[in-house]
Amino acid sequence: MYTKDFEPYTYPLNRNPRYNFDIKNKSKWFINNDSNIHIKPKSKNQKNSTKWRRMLNDYSQNTTLHGLRYAGNNELSASERCFWIISFGLAVITAVYFIFNLFHKWQDMPVIISLSPKATKLTSIPFPAITICNMNNARKSVARNILETNIDRRLLSDFCDEDPLSIDSSIDNYTGDWDSLKKFMIRVSQPCHEMIVSCLWANNPKVCSELFNPSLTDEGICCSFNKVKPDYIFRNPRDLSDLNITFPNPSANWTPENGYPPNTPAEYTPWRPWGAGNHLGLTLVLDAEIEEYYCSSEVSYGFKVMLHSPVETPKISSFGSLVSPGRETSLEIHPTVGMATPTLAEIEKEKRQCVYSAEKQLRFYKTYTQRNCILECEANFTLTFCQCVMYYMPKDSFSRICGKKDEECSNKAKLAIELRYSSPLTNISQLLNGTYLPNCTCLPGCHWIGYNKVHSSSPLANSYKIKQTFLAGRTSTYFKKNMAVIHFFFEETQFTGFTKGELFGFTEFLSNTGGLLGLFMGFSFLSAIEVIYFISLRLWCAMSNKKKVTDRKQSK
């Protein structure tokens, strides 16, 4: 029993509750003498929660983020702290929203096409390849001989689109082999030296046979100018079913992506333009031989002309321009050249929507262009769908050539490939009766070159004084009826190209993200270091100091 002068002292619970435990007995429960309230000591989770609360409060008091220090200031009232917490939360939500939009732009729209900062010189690109076809499919004198001898009569019927029921199938033994078809086409087609009777290159007379070579197109055998050798166009030209052509002029391995090899001589094809103007272009005099027309690919007579890249196979029937005899025609050339920045290669093909030559290799063509890819895809699908391939398509020597009986099937295959890039797949599958159409993914090349033209013409006047070099032994009457004069030339000595580059790279995304975070929260790179510091180094130091204090107490 205690005396009045010596009473035991107990700490009030409302002042120092953390001391309300029995240190001597180390009991889990302690009964306070004043209130008889059982106080449970803090658990480990509660202690950890207190530690994190203290660390967050310490972080809010020392961080450089705007507004957060007010939210953690204990000296402010609850309403003031709540105001700053809501404001900081709204700033974070707004910043995240704009950063999400920025990320979407970075992922889905990373490419921009802009005008080149420097003007491109005309002499740095090749003069366009020019393919000219006479719309006459077969010369009348040859066709009459075929009809009289009944040799190759079925081929003549196919070329002139005649009704096959009117032709006896036993007349001809043509089975669709390339050698027979090639010999027939060479026989009935107008030779290049007869169609092109006069040539002026940069106002200098040239031998036309040295400028033009026979070319296999969907209009038959035509004449092409300024194309590179087949060795530079096709991957294995000796294994392909094509014309055997010898090029009198040396050729350079030019591509739209790499351009001319270093130190390429000026006389190597593809030739480069000398300058702008009619006098520095190409002038041709063509002979249509109207009296020799037996059947035409169109309802008129004359020529089809197309400008294209020197490494491409043109599709004259679909994209050729018509030139009438008895007229003088001017074709002003406007080149379009596109280049890509080196950083564009780091973006995925599906996002930049273009292909480098090294990224996709074609089976037949050595140089990748979108037109070459589409034509090869059309050839492969026609072979699969119809078990044959059209004569003008890239093919090997084992492929069967489509005849008149395969025309409906080949036309469906051609239309399906063309619609593949413009119409829904459901319509195409209905056209092909459910046949699977392969996805060729023929994207444009990242480096490209194209030639637009402005077409103008006027009829030859009766008083027109014809140059003797243009007549080439023909009379004036024959010239005005059968001949056509065409001028190909550039309008400007310099032009502006296009550059395909990276619109939004990682550097731009990072800088814009930092700008948004700085605008709404005052966030910077050092703010991120602060977060790492408080959850790593500072926390580790606090735990280390506490452990040292505990060890000292235990040692005492």
pLDDT in tens, 457-471: 998 877 667 777 777
* Structure tokens given for 280: 């520095």
- Average of pLDDT values for 3-28? 44
DSSP letter at 536 equals I
| Residue 271 pLDDT greater than 80, yes or no | yes
In whole angstroms, give the CA distance from residue 335 to residue 537. 63
In whole angstroms, give the CA distance from residue 523 to residue 541. 25
pLDDT of residue 551: 66
- Average of pLDDT values for 88-95? 83
Q: Provide the pLDDT confidence category of residue 174 given band limits of 50, 70 and 90.
A: very low
| Residue 254 pLDDT greater than 90, yes or no | yes
pLDDT of residue 520: 73
pLDDT of residue 168: 45
Count of alpha carbons within 13 angstroms of residue 509, beta-carbon side: 17
The residue with greater pLDDT, 175 or 517, is: 517
pLDDT of residue 196: 94
Closest CA to 127 of 281, 298, 343: 281
Number of helices (H), then strands (E), belonging to the chain: the values are 19, 17
Closest CA to 224 of 233, 410, 426: 233
What are the backbone dihedrals phi and psi of residue 69, each rounded to the nearest 5 degrees, phi first? -70, -30
pLDDT of residue 19: 41
pLDDT tens, 475-499?
Answer: 888 888 899 999 999 999 988 888 8
- Average of pLDDT values for 353-382? 90
pLDDT of residue 20: 44
> Which whole-number Å values give the CA distances from 415 to 86, 258, 271, 273, 318, in the listed order?
62, 33, 35, 37, 12
- Average of pLDDT values for 68-77? 72
In whole angstroms, give the CA distance from residue 395 to residue 148. 33
Name the helix (H) or strand (E) containing 139.
Answer: strand 136-139
DSSP letter at 8 equals P
Q: Provide the pLDDT confidence category of residue 424 given band limits of 50, 70 and 90.
A: low
Alpha-carbon dihedral sign for residues 365, 370, 374, 375: negative
Q: Would you give the end-to-end CA distance of the chain in angstroms? A: 34
pLDDT of residue 323: 94
| Residue 118 pLDDT greater than 60, yes or no | yes
pLDDT tens, 425-448?
Answer: 555 655 666 566 777 788 899 999
